[in-house]
Amino acid sequence: MLLSGKKIAILATHGFEQSELEIPLAKLKAAGAQVDVVSLAPGEIKGWDKKDWGQPVKVDKTLDQVSAADYDALVLPGGQINPDLLRVEPKALAFIKDIYNQKKVLAAVCHAPWLLIETGIIKGKKATSYKSIKTDVMNAGGKWEDSEVVNDLGLITSRNPGDLEAFVTKIIEEVREGQHAQRSAA
Protein backbone atom coordinates (compact mmCIF):
# COMPACT_ATOMS: atom_id res chain seq x y z
CA MET A 1 0.00 0.00 0.00
CA LEU A 2 1.55 3.26 -1.18
CA LEU A 3 0.07 5.38 1.61
CA SER A 4 0.00 2.89 4.47
CA GLY A 5 0.12 4.77 7.79
CA LYS A 6 -0.74 8.12 6.20
CA LYS A 7 -3.76 10.20 7.25
CA ILE A 8 -5.51 12.55 4.83
CA ALA A 9 -8.40 14.93 5.46
CA ILE A 10 -10.92 16.02 2.85
CA LEU A 11 -12.52 19.30 3.93
CA ALA A 12 -15.94 19.95 2.44
CA THR A 13 -19.47 21.10 3.12
CA HIS A 14 -22.76 21.11 1.21
CA GLY A 15 -22.41 21.73 -2.51
CA PHE A 16 -19.09 19.98 -3.10
CA GLU A 17 -18.65 18.69 -6.65
CA GLN A 18 -19.59 15.01 -6.26
CA SER A 19 -16.70 13.50 -8.22
CA GLU A 20 -14.12 15.86 -6.71
CA LEU A 21 -14.77 14.41 -3.26
CA GLU A 22 -15.69 10.81 -4.08
CA ILE A 23 -12.87 10.00 -6.52
CA PRO A 24 -10.01 11.25 -4.28
CA LEU A 25 -11.70 9.59 -1.27
CA ALA A 26 -11.88 6.20 -3.00
CA LYS A 27 -8.45 6.35 -4.65
CA LEU A 28 -6.60 7.57 -1.55
CA LYS A 29 -8.25 4.85 0.56
CA ALA A 30 -7.36 2.28 -2.11
CA ALA A 31 -3.74 3.48 -1.84
CA GLY A 32 -3.83 2.63 1.87
CA ALA A 33 -4.40 6.02 3.50
CA GLN A 34 -6.83 6.66 6.31
CA VAL A 35 -9.09 9.36 4.88
CA ASP A 36 -11.48 11.46 6.95
CA VAL A 37 -14.23 13.63 5.50
CA VAL A 38 -14.12 16.74 7.69
CA SER A 39 -16.91 19.32 7.73
CA LEU A 40 -18.49 22.11 9.75
CA ALA A 41 -21.12 19.92 11.43
CA PRO A 42 -21.66 16.20 12.03
CA GLY A 43 -23.95 14.01 9.93
CA GLU A 44 -23.90 14.17 6.15
CA ILE A 45 -23.06 16.72 3.51
CA LYS A 46 -24.79 16.78 0.16
CA GLY A 47 -22.88 16.95 -3.09
CA TRP A 48 -23.60 18.72 -6.35
CA ASP A 49 -23.54 16.42 -9.36
CA LYS A 50 -23.06 18.50 -12.54
CA LYS A 51 -26.50 20.20 -12.74
CA ASP A 52 -28.39 19.14 -9.61
CA TRP A 53 -27.96 17.96 -6.05
CA GLY A 54 -26.05 14.71 -5.79
CA GLN A 55 -25.63 12.09 -3.11
CA PRO A 56 -24.87 12.70 0.56
CA VAL A 57 -21.51 11.73 2.03
CA LYS A 58 -20.97 10.84 5.68
CA VAL A 59 -18.94 13.30 7.74
CA ASP A 60 -16.25 11.47 9.72
CA LYS A 61 -15.14 14.41 11.87
CA THR A 62 -15.99 18.06 12.42
CA LEU A 63 -13.47 20.88 12.34
CA ASP A 64 -13.75 21.04 16.15
CA GLN A 65 -12.44 17.45 16.33
CA VAL A 66 -9.33 17.81 14.16
CA SER A 67 -6.05 19.68 13.94
CA ALA A 68 -3.42 19.95 11.25
CA ALA A 69 -1.10 17.81 13.39
CA ASP A 70 -3.49 14.86 12.83
CA TYR A 71 -2.91 14.70 9.06
CA ASP A 72 -0.26 14.31 6.38
CA ALA A 73 -2.35 16.09 3.72
CA LEU A 74 -5.55 18.03 3.10
CA VAL A 75 -7.71 17.77 -0.03
CA LEU A 76 -10.14 20.56 -0.95
CA PRO A 77 -12.84 19.54 -3.44
CA GLY A 78 -14.44 22.22 -5.57
CA GLY A 79 -17.85 22.94 -6.90
CA GLN A 80 -19.06 26.52 -6.74
CA ILE A 81 -21.07 26.26 -3.53
CA ASN A 82 -18.70 24.32 -1.27
CA PRO A 83 -15.61 26.60 -1.31
CA ASP A 84 -17.80 29.70 -1.26
CA LEU A 85 -19.42 28.51 1.99
CA LEU A 86 -16.08 27.46 3.51
CA ARG A 87 -14.21 30.67 2.74
CA VAL A 88 -16.32 32.59 5.27
CA GLU A 89 -15.66 30.05 8.05
CA PRO A 90 -12.70 31.10 10.24
CA LYS A 91 -12.13 27.54 11.55
CA ALA A 92 -11.94 26.16 8.01
CA LEU A 93 -9.48 28.84 6.93
CA ALA A 94 -7.34 28.30 10.05
CA PHE A 95 -7.22 24.53 9.41
CA ILE A 96 -6.15 25.05 5.78
CA LYS A 97 -3.49 27.57 6.77
CA ASP A 98 -2.20 25.31 9.57
CA ILE A 99 -1.81 22.38 7.14
CA TYR A 100 0.11 24.61 4.75
CA ASN A 101 2.28 26.21 7.44
CA GLN A 102 3.18 22.76 8.80
CA LYS A 103 4.57 22.10 5.29
CA LYS A 104 2.11 19.31 4.57
CA VAL A 105 0.53 18.49 1.22
CA LEU A 106 -2.40 20.77 0.34
CA ALA A 107 -4.46 19.94 -2.75
CA ALA A 108 -7.30 22.01 -4.25
CA VAL A 109 -9.34 21.35 -7.37
CA CYS A 110 -11.77 23.41 -9.50
CA HIS A 111 -13.17 26.33 -7.43
CA ALA A 112 -11.34 25.27 -4.23
CA PRO A 113 -8.41 27.63 -4.97
CA TRP A 114 -10.82 30.32 -3.67
CA LEU A 115 -9.80 28.93 -0.26
CA LEU A 116 -6.12 29.36 -1.15
CA ILE A 117 -6.90 32.95 -2.13
CA GLU A 118 -8.81 33.64 1.09
CA THR A 119 -5.95 32.31 3.26
CA GLY A 120 -3.27 34.18 1.29
CA ILE A 121 -1.54 30.90 0.40
CA ILE A 122 -1.82 31.40 -3.39
CA LYS A 123 0.31 34.55 -3.51
CA GLY A 124 3.47 33.93 -5.50
CA LYS A 125 2.65 30.25 -6.12
CA LYS A 126 2.19 28.37 -9.37
CA ALA A 127 -1.40 27.12 -9.56
CA THR A 128 -4.34 26.29 -11.76
CA SER A 129 -8.10 26.32 -11.18
CA TYR A 130 -11.43 26.16 -12.94
CA LYS A 131 -11.22 28.63 -15.82
CA SER A 132 -13.87 30.98 -14.41
CA ILE A 133 -11.69 31.84 -11.38
CA LYS A 134 -8.43 32.26 -13.31
CA THR A 135 -8.61 36.04 -12.85
CA ASP A 136 -9.31 35.62 -9.11
CA VAL A 137 -6.17 33.48 -8.76
CA MET A 138 -4.06 35.96 -10.75
CA ASN A 139 -5.45 38.98 -8.87
CA ALA A 140 -4.47 37.28 -5.60
CA GLY A 141 -0.88 36.93 -6.85
CA GLY A 142 -1.03 33.34 -8.08
CA LYS A 143 0.95 32.32 -11.15
CA TRP A 144 -1.92 30.66 -13.06
CA GLU A 145 -1.28 28.09 -15.76
CA ASP A 146 -3.60 25.96 -17.85
CA SER A 147 -2.44 22.45 -16.90
CA GLU A 148 -4.26 19.36 -15.59
CA VAL A 149 -2.19 19.44 -12.42
CA VAL A 150 0.21 22.05 -11.03
CA ASN A 151 2.49 21.35 -8.08
CA ASP A 152 4.38 24.07 -6.21
CA LEU A 153 6.27 22.40 -3.33
CA GLY A 154 3.33 20.23 -2.28
CA LEU A 155 0.66 22.81 -3.10
CA ILE A 156 -1.29 20.85 -5.72
CA THR A 157 -4.04 22.32 -7.91
CA SER A 158 -6.15 21.02 -10.78
CA ARG A 159 -8.80 22.54 -13.05
CA ASN A 160 -11.87 20.27 -13.09
CA PRO A 161 -13.23 16.70 -12.74
CA GLY A 162 -11.47 15.70 -15.96
CA ASP A 163 -8.14 16.22 -14.19
CA LEU A 164 -8.88 14.00 -11.18
CA GLU A 165 -6.67 11.10 -12.26
CA ALA A 166 -3.59 13.35 -12.49
CA PHE A 167 -4.68 15.23 -9.34
CA VAL A 168 -4.89 12.10 -7.17
CA THR A 169 -1.71 10.62 -8.66
CA LYS A 170 0.17 13.81 -7.71
CA ILE A 171 -1.33 13.79 -4.18
CA ILE A 172 -0.12 10.23 -3.65
CA GLU A 173 3.34 11.10 -4.97
CA GLU A 174 3.66 14.18 -2.76
CA VAL A 175 2.35 12.49 0.41
CA ARG A 176 4.91 9.72 -0.11
CA GLU A 177 7.61 12.38 -0.50
CA GLY A 178 6.71 13.96 2.85
CA GLN A 179 6.86 17.47 4.22
CA HIS A 180 8.20 20.32 2.12
CA ALA A 181 10.71 21.99 4.43
CA GLN A 182 11.78 24.57 1.83
CA ARG A 183 8.24 26.00 1.63
CA SER A 184 7.68 29.32 3.39
CA ALA A 185 4.67 29.99 5.61
CA ALA A 186 1.58 31.78 4.33
* CA atoms of 41 and 57, how far apart (whole Å): 12
The amino acid at 48: W
What phi-psi label fits residue 103: left (phi over 0), alpha (psi between -120 and 50 degrees) or beta?
left
Q: Whole-angstrom distance between the N-terminal and C-terminal Cα of the chain?
A: 32
* CA atoms of 151 and 149, how far apart (whole Å): 7
- What phi and psi values does residue 141 have, to the nearest 5 degrees? 95, 5
Instruction: List the catalytic residue out of 111, 125, 134, 180.
Output: 111
* CA atoms of 156 and 99, how far apart (whole Å): 13
Catalytic annotation present for 180: no
- The two beta strands, 126-127 and 155-158, are unpaired
* CA atoms of 146 and 159, how far apart (whole Å): 8
Which positions are catalytic?
Answer: 111
